[in-house]
Structure 1
Amino acid sequence: MIAPRQAYLHYVDGDSWAAPIRRLYGAVDEEWQRERMTSLLHRHYRRFGAERLLLVSAPGRTELGGNHTDHQHGRVLAAAVHLDCLAAATPNGTDRIRLSGEGVDAEIDIDCTQTRPRPEEEGTPQALVRGVIAGFRERGLATGGFDTSLHATVRPGTGLSSSAAFSVLIGEICNLLFNGNRLGPLDLALIAQSAENGFFGKPCGLMDQLACAAGRILHIDFNDPVQPVMEVVDSCPFTSRYCLAVVDTGGSHSGLTDEYAAIPGEMSKAATVLGQPFARGLAIDQVRAGLPQLRRQAGDRAILRLFHFIRENDRVMEMVEALRAGDTGTYLQLVRASGDSSWRLLQNCTSRTSSEEQGVPLALALTEMFLADGAWRVHGGGFAGTIQVYVPQELFEAYRQHMEGVFGSGCVIELQVGRPGVCAILPDGRLLPAGQEG
């Protein structure tokens, strides 16, 4: 699958380039993408002297529905986005993995035979690389040294799973270079999740990694979290009238670990009171019937969070049905209901750590006052970070300027959704997804 650098340069410069690239990046400026790839190819040659290489792209993801449901074996609706990690990779015949890139904080040079977690690397790209290599070795898969040049448009801190995209990217490079692309999206996602949990120090479910690896718009059922059931939702009717975006409120996630951990902790504690290890399978009537015991043993907030999970889990199916029916109005009503539930019941919009930094509820309130039409909700983990908005196309620029006046230039990030998952870009114009033969 490795091809000459000149073959890639000829492909990127040719007329056949645009059609497959639109599958990855949608309506985003094609000439900018052409320049981006050309620059990456030249930079890879200057840095590593590589005349043969492979281009790989791993998308970020956005959560469309199912806020804090995956860790309770629930359902989610997620989509791959056009913002990605794009890499040129070349095997180097050594045990060294060397990475140089834009969008990554540091140059990386590690020994791929050293696969124990290192506490001093927590929170760094080095930890993710080391964790992915460890995951391959634990499964008896081949690894080796390679040189990689990277350009990332999915930025850390924007709620689009940059760490998951990076982990999946490294996994797919190993998959392609040393394992004949035999691993599919689920295997890559499980390896990436293990790297984030055990090496990077980020407790997370599997939704982020699976959405990055599999791509498209996915309904994922985590009733069996080791073998989740995925189905593609091909219809996306809202794009004809609305712009989908996230708004980065600029809040810091530092000091919020306890607040994040309390959500699955309280849900599981309340479910245990009712005789189950997780909230999946509980009904509202069961919770109501057990209120006296739940209040004594789990507390009121845990009850509210159970109510959120049960209704949100059902809401995901309603959102899928609305998308497939082309019913944008119902879909956006469900998006607003999801956001309202997260704010009132799940309570992951306001943080107790700082009364002065409440960017998420401020952004939601400003959006609600600005828009008479559309939808808005907290995006992802909550407490700080991003909200998700659906803005009528004719109002999008005015909305962008309004929010940038509060949260700073570039805070509104428009998204194209539904692209393929992690894949190799071949110089004949084909996209090769994980697990498929070339």
Structure 2
Amino acid sequence: MPGRPARAKARRAFLNAFFRAIVQGPAGQGLRRGGSVYDETSLIRFLASGDGKSVLRELYGEDAAARQEGRWTGLAREFFGGEGGDTARVISSPGRSELGGNHTDHNHGRVLCAAVHMDILAFAAPRNDGKAVLRSRGWDKPFVVDLNDLQPRAEERGRTEALIRGVAASLVKRGGKIGGFYALADSSVPAGSGLSSSAAFELLIGQLQNALYNGGSRGPEELAIIGKEAENEYFGKPCGLMDQMASALGAISAIDFNDPAKPSWRRVGFDLHKAGYALAIVNAGDSHEDLTDEYSSIPSDMKAIAGFFGKPVLRGIAEADLLDNAAALRAKAGDRAFLRALHFAAEDQRAAAMADSLDGGDLAGFLKLVRESGDSSWRLLQNVLPSGATRSQAVACAIALSQRFLGSEGAVRVHGGGFAGTIQAYLPLGRERAYIDFMNGALGTGAASIMHIRPRGAMEVTI
């Protein structure tokens, strides 16, 4: 029988081979969905290994990988040293950036979007009492939901508990299994920032239930729809499906919502960094919170125009039809609704053209379309300034400042829902530090960040 040093050496060799096989998977697959149960020692040892650092670089980019090792290690120690028990599943769900198709998804249009490196990371273990207990860094008390009752609750609308309950209810409605869990989470997706922290959270809970109770059998499209239903029906916020799909799929994706029950999508193979550009997201300083009425007015206005043509949504109504009926449409639905419909007609086409430009390696053409998208959102969609805002016009200021900095280089546009939150800027490599310093000087420390486009969507991490 081998001695203790020999046994320890053999065990280390086995673990190294085991983890390497999981990380690499089949040839060319890289990090993949699907997961395992980890104890504290094996997890922390792996994070410090070469394979672990490779995982972190893929998810977060070269510059952030070292910081992420500390984040993961700290969260693991907190989980295992607290209520988490001896083993954990690891879930990571990214934020998203909308690259094209501003407010087109809710009218069954097309979008171009990407997952980004900012994510919600959670360590989780099952509970046998049907209760979901989620602790999140930055919150004093845990979120506790009894999943034995899946009916919507009026007092939970607009709260985290509604999303936990709503995701579980939607999963059960589709024949899935659910159960209680304890989870410890840490989010680097700022709430109200326009990177869709709500969708990232919905996909986190969906993948958590998927990993613990469904053997990872639920695909990204289904989990995205589950998240949207939870946000619409339990949380009480109107939204399309783009945010959830972007978080679920990862990388850059062109998505067509013509059939919202089964959206079609494809990967867009383009490396912005290799093309010499960086993507920046700037938090203008105002929050998306308390703007539900502003957001709901956009699909409402668009659908009022669609109703004139006997349609439920604008998809399939040509710009020529809008122009031919301009007087009647303005009289029926008002000028704002008419202008928003004009935006949709062009933006839907533009989102498809943006994907084609990237597929063809035409960065100049893509940036031209980005500028057109931003101009249309400001003038026609009107989601840069909240109604009646005079003193605080943070998004407009951030766009104007970025345009002055970039000049004829790069492009800038409002990002996501609009009215508050973030803008998006493309800038040549080498100007990142100067841009960040300029925007932070005007808007506050930490306002501007360079994004890494994450190749993986919400997932149980196999390491």
TM-score past 0.5 threshold:
yes
CA distance in 2, matches of 1:200, 1:174: 19
2:336 paired residue number: 301
Bigger mean CA deviation after superposition, 139-148 or 359-368: 139-148
Matches within 5 A, 1:228-377: 228-237=263-272, 240-372=275-407, 373-377=409-413
Q: Deviations over 1:214-246 (max 9, x none)?
A: 111110000011110011112134554222111
Aligned CA-pair RMSD: 1.6
Write the deviation string for residues 14-61 of structure 1: whole angstroms up to 9, x where unpaired: 222122222211223322111111111110011215111111111110
Can you list the C-alpha shifts for 1:235-288, whole angstroms capped at 9, x where unaligned? 134554222111111213455332222211111111221332211111121111
SS in 2 for 1:86: strand
Specify the alignment match of 1:195 in structure 2.
230
* Unmatched runs of 5 consecutive residues or more in structure 1: 430-438
Q: 2 CA distance for matches of 1:360 and 1:332?
A: 20
**Higher mean Cα deviation, 396-405 or 96-105?**
96-105
**Amino acid corresponding to residue 380 of structure 1 in structure 2:** G
Equivalents in 2 of 1:106, 1:66: separation in Å? Answer: 38
- Which range moves more in the overlay, 284-293 or 52-61? 284-293
Task: Give yes or no for contact 2:60–2:454 (8 Å, CA) kept in 1.
Answer: no
Out of 384, 388, 399, the position equivalent to 2:435 is: 399
Asked if the contact 1:23–1:419 (Cα under 8 Å) also holds between the matched residues in 2, the reply is yes
For structure 2, the 5+ residue unaligned runs are: 1-35
Partner of 1:85: 120
Q: Is the CA contact (8 Å cut-off) linking 1:104 and 1:152 kept in structure 2?
A: no
Amino acid at match of 2:162: A
Letter in 1 for 2:446: G
Distance 1:49 1:65 in 2: 41
Retained in 2: the 8 A contact 1:12–1:34?
A: yes
Matched AA of 2:66: E
Q: Is the alpha carbon distance of 1:254 and 1:25 closer, same or farther for their aligned partners in structure 2, counting shifts above 3 Å? A: closer
Amino acid at match of 1:378: V
- How do residues 112-151 of structure 1 correspond to structure 2 at under 5 angstroms? 112-151=147-186
Structure 1 position 77, deviation (Å): 0.4
Name the structure 2 match of 1:436. none
Shift of 1:306: 1.4
Secondary structure of 1:317's match? helix
Aligned residues: 427
Q: Is the 8 A contact 2:272 2:278 kept in 1?
A: no
1:39 counterpart residue number: 74
Q: Is the 8 A contact 2:237 2:292 kept in 1?
A: no
Instruction: Tell me the SS of whatever aligns to 2:114.
Output: strand
Task: Work out the CA distance in 2 between the residues paired with 1:17 and 1:256.
Answer: 41
**Who is 2:19 aligned against?**
none
Tell me which moved more, 56-65 or 20-29: 20-29
1:103 and 1:329, CA in 2 relative to 1: closer, same or farther beyond 3 A?
A: farther
SS at match of 2:82: helix
Q: Is the 8 A contact 1:102 1:151 kept in 2?
A: yes
Conserved 8 A contact 1:93-1:145: yes
Q: In the alignment, which residue of structure 2 is the partner of 1:434? A: none
For 2:134 and 2:311, how far apart are their aligned partners in 1? 45
Alpha-carbon contact 1:91-1:147 (below 8 Å) kept: yes
Query: Runs of 4+ in structure 1 displaced over 3 angstroms?
Result: 103-106, 237-240, 252-255
Structure 1 residue 308: Cα displacement? 0.8
Q: Which residue of 2 aligns with 1:433?
A: none
- Distance (Å, rounded) in 1 between the aligned partners of 2:272 and 2:195: 22
Counterpart of 2:130 in structure 1 is 95
Write the deviation string for residues 101-141 of structure 1: whole angstroms up to 9, x where unpaired: 22557412222212222222222222211111222222232
Does 2:449 align with 1:424? no
Q: Which amino acid aligns with 1:405?
A: G
Letter in 1 for 2:438: H
1:167 and 2:207 matched? no
TM-score by length of 1: 0.94
Match of 1:181 in 2: 216
Identity of aligned residues (%): 44
